[in-house]
Amino acid sequence: MSDTPPLLVPASALPPEMTIDTADTLIADFRILATGGHGHSVILDASKVEVLSTAAIQLIVALEKSLTEGGGHLLIAGASESFRHAFADLGIGLPTEQEV
Q: Mind listing the pLDDT tens digit for each residue in 35-87?
A: 876 678 899 999 999 999 999 999 999 999 999 988 888 999 999 999 999 99
Task: Output the pLDDT for position 93.
Answer: 86
Q: Is residue 87 part of a domain?
A: yes
Q: Is residue 32 part of a domain?
A: yes
The C-alpha angle 27, 31, 32, rounded to 5 degrees, equals: 125
Task: Tell me the CATH number at 50.
Answer: 3.30.750.24
Q: Is residue 2 part of a domain?
A: no
For residue 18, the surrounding DSSP H or E stretch is strand 17-18
Q: Is residue 61 part of a domain?
A: yes
Tell me: pLDDT of 89 over 80: yes
Q: Is residue 26 part of a domain?
A: yes
Q: How confident is the model at residue 9 (pLDDT cuts 50, 70, 90)?
A: low
Tally of structural domains, the chain = 1
Tell me which residue range forms the domain holding 55.
8-98
Task: Output the pLDDT for position 37.
Answer: 66
As a whole number of angstroms, the distance between CA 7 and CA 95 comes to: 18
Predicted TM-score (pTM) of the model is 0.83
